[in-house]
Structure 1
């Protein structure tokens, strides 16, 4: 009997134990804004004294299950990069529970104290939140270096030319905590202060015609500040990139200053150019320019002074003064012009160019956060663009001048950009925004080239837009429409225009299983003639060619449709992108005969079309220690002018590899030429190779690198396919091949951090308003 009773008790304990071991916890984690399931969120069950018990991640539907949990008191912790951590108390847990929906709210700007062990990307319909890993931060010396480590789609980082760009002349807007900045301010960022980069590859109407927006979200000290020194110097050529910057913070105020100088001094620049002329008298001339090594010298200066004051919950005021100067005393070509039909018929040629551009600008910004998730933004930017250039061109035989050209241009352009935006966040992640923008420009230019031309031009553009962002289940959509007015008048002439345009756009993005989506985007935009092309003046190029402005140019429309597919899982990332562009009546180049001269000008042509496709593959076989990225693409151009028709296809690729281990970083980059065809002109891109190694020790970084280490003939090619005057030009800079560079960076920061407000506007004026000249 005792055995039976003991057996029953033992069986009961075993059943109770088995039951206890089979207790479960279920839940569904969702994005608090749009109620979408949140994948790959971390779910950790721990005791009340923070001892780990069980852990898992959410699946593609945002669900999680924790099995075999014993009775007790627990704390459930749900976390995901870009979201506030959620805590669920499970006191007296003794039976299985289903927690239902657990909303995750967006994290604020600051993630103080969080160390990211591997880079992570959180996708939204209008942007990606990219969190750099601790390794990537330690391997970088500034914000531009860090961007190169992240290998984002479309983004091309070129430390040789100090550029961040996207293929195809697209605009890249740079921001820090939403405030519009220049590249030098990005290079002044300490990587350890960068929390994340918000990558907008589908920017809305409030960003204008930007192709990509990169917004660096950084920590802002409440007291103390930062100091940074970054120097890169060529060993075998005078090439340099040197920068000093600092920031001081006191309570709500921040004071910042930075200075950058980029010297270039090359003696191995040359140009080869083959031209075929068909003149009006029926004669044909086939000549070739063979270049000799010549001098290229340039000094770039940037100064930025900044003051901002903010209360993150209420307001932000930001004032920035920027001064940009490009002093180019020498950009010279020398060589021989020979008649290919008669080698004894040749002349000596010199083409000496100098230029100086100065652009001071003042940017004033104010943002006010109102009740009920409403925001008002006002921005005023004033810019003065001062340009002066001199071109001396001479063809001579036996030291006797045959052609002597002396062109001097002096330009002054004044512009004011004013903008206001109202934004309202609605339920379920929806958003409504409207904006009004006006630009007023005045340009006064003097051209001295044997004739004296003075131009006084007035140009204005106004636009009003509205945009709504919404969601239906897994479909995110954005609908926007804008109306714009453009005005132009040249004093002393009857040349003027005034026109209105209607600019709709839409985005449809559908979420697929896993971290993937498909997106369709379309928009209608407009482009205005540049003030330089509108100038009613004429400049001599060489003994056979003249350049002439066209005051009759009219604005034209731009239509674009793009389809994108993106997939990410674990260490694999894929981005497939295709687009079709159609531009009716675009302003493109044109040449025609006039006596025994060839006239180069611009005109509204029939149409221009481009079909483009690209595929990017990125893999991190050892998390973010070792990463590879490959992008391949094609551009097919159709250019139909009033008297010409051309097609052209260009294939290109980009390869990047990065290795980071402890205090060491090794990086290799290869870019083949991304070519642009417009009108009758083919502008070739660069073939670039970059090899760099760095060693970081605390606040100090030492590096060595080489530009084009495996090539001795860096060149850029361009062609013109005109029936009256075709050309094929190749420009060389010997120092750009096998250029070895050493770098030293020192960063120091002090103070603590707090949440920063964000600026939402981006306005600037970089068009000088002056007609360019030269071959």
Structure 2
């Protein structure tokens, strides 16, 4: 970054690169269609997995305190990911067994330029106008191939190619009016998405128009109560790949109430309503076979979902100890999630709108500095949750938990951090997916002012990073997929950071509004 006068110009580049050679994909599958029973056990061999994710950005801002701020950023993002798998397969069709070799290949990539402009202007001490305009383009490609070899000859083959051009525009304007004890605001956000699937000859376009208009007030009542109350109307119009147009309107209130019990403790209540739009890939009908009688396809008839979320939290701070406890409940009508269907010929995995999805959660965060010089910090986060999903006459439940302890020790120029996270399983539609367990140890040293050297190990004493996805809540299919990356186990790394500082110093600008389009249109295949 370079500063002069009221201006700053900056250039950023980063790349994340990984290249594994020991990714293992195991799978168990069983289903019945047309009076025939199908069973498969797939045992993975060491296979490659690699990706590069890059971002290059140039930014400019010009600002004057308590007056105005203009910021513009032009960035270029890209992803190139490759996954392959070789599996030993034992297949049974009506108890007739055969042994085969499975070979799969996933390739997905995108390029995405983004233009982001932000402007805010203060008129006196009471009035403020903020505007944000973001334009995003995604060109994405997805290529999947799978075949099973019996006696070195293809016994089953499938492939799918999805090539998508997608662009979006997000514009938002917000006006703030500052009163003596409150802040009144009103705003509107408009989003337009246009996605074209190039490999389809016709009916290849999905468009979305969404307008969200809102107003609210924040402030204090006396010395103990603070509040934030807002209400908005969300209107969504989208045209699917089948040229069907849907129009949905939702009322979106939000209420935040806080009560300061004393100088070191408070009680907070929050209720808000949000909407979730279907992703481009989940709307696009892009069928391919996972098995000779097992199809995956998108669902062009998906509708937005509406989420109601409530939470109540308590905070208490002592001289060396902090307690933060929270209970929460969420109810999502028409939740978008993976579901399974049957047409008597095939098992069909797709996305659907559940009748509702509920989640009840209780969490506790503790932090303790046991010594007077604060060189040692102990943290513990724990939560327990219960999920309920409903679709038609079916209901399925899941109870899970997560425990995350961490220790940080700082002495002179040295730092030591230990982190652990238990595995966390959760329901996503008619599937159960886990957030893998994780552990790390880091030792850092700062020999001079601007240099930090860190050495660490991730997943110590693990045999692999492991993620498990299984089918839950349907009698149509039994399937468990286990992905392991052996290279991640006991992974040792070194991190070097040196900050070059010269010229005029200036703190970075703080934007009060940020919009971003993260939907690349790439199919997320499990």
Instruction: Judge same fold: TM > 0.5, yes or no.
Output: yes
* Aligned match of 2:188: 436
* Aligned match of 1:266: 20
User: Equivalent residue of 2:281, what SS?
Assistant: helix
* Aligned match of 1:577: 326
> Structure 1: how far apart are the matches of 2:491 and 2:71?
40
Rate the CA distance shift 1:732–1:444 in 2: closer, same or farther, 3 A: same
The Cα shift of 1:418 comes to 0.5
User: Equivalent residue of 1:427, what SS?
Assistant: coil
Rate the CA distance shift 1:367–1:642 in 2: closer, same or farther, 3 A: same
The Cα shift of 1:401 comes to 0.6
> Structure 2: how far apart are the matches of 1:409 and 1:634?
39
Report Cα offsets for 1:14-60 as digits up to 9, x if no partner.
xxxxxxxxxxxxxxxxxxxxxxxxxxxxxxxxxxxxxxxxxxxxxxx
User: Equivalent residue of 2:204, what SS?
Assistant: strand
* Aligned match of 2:482: 730
Rate the CA distance shift 1:566–1:512 in 2: closer, same or farther, 3 A: same
Rate the CA distance shift 1:458–1:683 in 2: closer, same or farther, 3 A: same
* Aligned match of 1:408: 161
* Aligned match of 2:456: 705
**Higher helix content, 1 or 2:** 1
Report Cα offsets for 1:432-470 as digits up to 9, x if no partner.
11111100111011347xxx6761111110011001112
> Structure 2: how far apart are the matches of 1:374 and 1:758?
18
**Partner of residue 561 from structure 1, selected from 310, 317, 323:** 310
Residues paired across the two proteins, number: 521
State whether structure 2 residue 401 is matched by structure 1 residue 651.
yes
* Aligned match of 1:354: 107
Rate the CA distance shift 1:297–1:454 in 2: closer, same or farther, 3 A: farther
Larger radius of gyration: 1
* Aligned match of 2:59: 306
State whether structure 2 residue 508 is matched by structure 1 residue 765.
no
TM-score (norm 2): 0.95
Report Cα offsets for 1:507-536 as digits up to 9, x if no partner.
111111231111111112222222222224
> Structure 1: how far apart are the matches of 2:286 and 2:469?
25
> Structure 2: how far apart are the matches of 1:487 and 1:502?
15
The Cα shift of 1:342 comes to 5.3
The Cα shift of 1:595 comes to 3.5
User: Equivalent residue of 2:291, what SS?
Assistant: coil
Rate the CA distance shift 1:742–1:482 in 2: closer, same or farther, 3 A: same
5+ residue gaps in structure 2? none
* Aligned match of 1:335: 87
> Structure 1: how far apart are the matches of 2:436 and 2:203?
37
* Aligned match of 1:254: 8
**Partner of residue 280 from structure 2, selected from 531, 544, 548:** 531
* Aligned match of 2:213: 464
> Structure 2: how far apart are the matches of 1:756 and 1:307?
11
> Structure 2: how far apart are the matches of 1:383 and 1:712?
41
Report Cα offsets for 1:720-761 as digits up to 9, x if no partner.
123111211111000110000012211121244467764211
> Structure 1: how far apart are the matches of 2:310 and 2:165?
38
User: Equivalent residue of 1:554, what SS?
Assistant: coil
Contact 1:312 1:757 in 2 (8 A): no
**Higher strand content, 1 or 2:** 2
State whether structure 2 residue 417 is matched by structure 1 residue 663.
no
Rate the CA distance shift 1:589–1:552 in 2: closer, same or farther, 3 A: same
* Aligned match of 1:477: 227
Rate the CA distance shift 1:396–1:283 in 2: closer, same or farther, 3 A: same
> Structure 2: how far apart are the matches of 1:440 and 1:353?
30
> Structure 2: how far apart are the matches of 1:589 and 1:703?
41
The Cα shift of 1:545 comes to 1.5
Rate the CA distance shift 1:300–1:757 in 2: closer, same or farther, 3 A: closer
The Cα shift of 1:671 comes to 0.9
**Partner of residue 619 from structure 1, selected from 363, 368, 371:** 368
The Cα shift of 1:565 comes to 0.5
> Structure 2: how far apart are the matches of 1:726 and 1:455?
33
The Cα shift of 1:286 comes to 2.6
* Aligned match of 1:378: 131
- Which stretch of structure 1 is more off in the superposition, 674-683 or 418-427? 674-683
> Structure 2: how far apart are the matches of 1:536 and 1:729?
23
* Aligned match of 1:673: 423
5+ residue gaps in structure 1? 1-246
> Structure 1: how far apart are the matches of 2:344 and 2:389?
27
> Structure 1: how far apart are the matches of 2:45 and 2:322?
47
> Structure 2: how far apart are the matches of 1:377 and 1:398?
67
User: Equivalent residue of 1:749, what SS?
Assistant: coil
Alignment of 1:222-237 (within 5 A): none
TM-score (norm 1): 0.65
**Partner of residue 246 from structure 2, selected from 456, 477, 497:** 497
> Structure 2: how far apart are the matches of 1:333 and 1:653?
33
Contact 1:592 1:724 in 2 (8 A): yes
Q: RMSD across aligned C-alpha pairs, in angstroms? A: 1.8
- Which stretch of structure 1 is more off in the superposition, 511-520 or 264-273? 511-520
> Structure 1: how far apart are the matches of 2:337 and 2:80?
29
Report Cα offsets for 1:229-250 as digits up to 9, x if no partner.
xxxxxxxxxxxxxxxxxx1111
Rate the CA distance shift 1:656–1:609 in 2: closer, same or farther, 3 A: same
**Partner of residue 552 from structure 1, selected from 288, 291, 301:** 301
Rate the CA distance shift 1:291–1:359 in 2: closer, same or farther, 3 A: same
Rate the CA distance shift 1:741–1:756 in 2: closer, same or farther, 3 A: closer
Report Cα offsets for 1:292-351 as digits up to 9, x if no partner.
1101111111112111111113111101112211111x2111112213685952221011
State whether structure 2 residue 143 is matched by structure 1 residue 393.
no
Report Cα offsets for 1:248-301 as digits up to 9, x if no partner.
11111111111111111111101111112121x223223211111101111111
User: Equivalent residue of 1:532, what SS?
Assistant: helix
Contact 2:385 2:401 in 1 (8 A): yes
**Partner of residue 588 from structure 1, selected from 331, 337, 342:** 337
State whether structure 2 residue 385 is matched by structure 1 residue 632.
no
> Structure 2: how far apart are the matches of 1:417 and 1:372?
29
> Structure 1: how far apart are the matches of 2:271 and 2:146?
46
* Aligned match of 2:500: 748
* Aligned match of 2:467: 716
Contact 1:327 1:356 in 2 (8 A): yes
> Structure 1: how far apart are the matches of 2:393 and 2:18?
41
The Cα shift of 1:379 comes to 0.7
Contact 2:3 2:505 in 1 (8 A): no
**Partner of residue 602 from structure 1, selected from 351, 357, 363:** 351
The Cα shift of 1:664 comes to 0.8
> Structure 2: how far apart are the matches of 1:662 and 1:634?
38
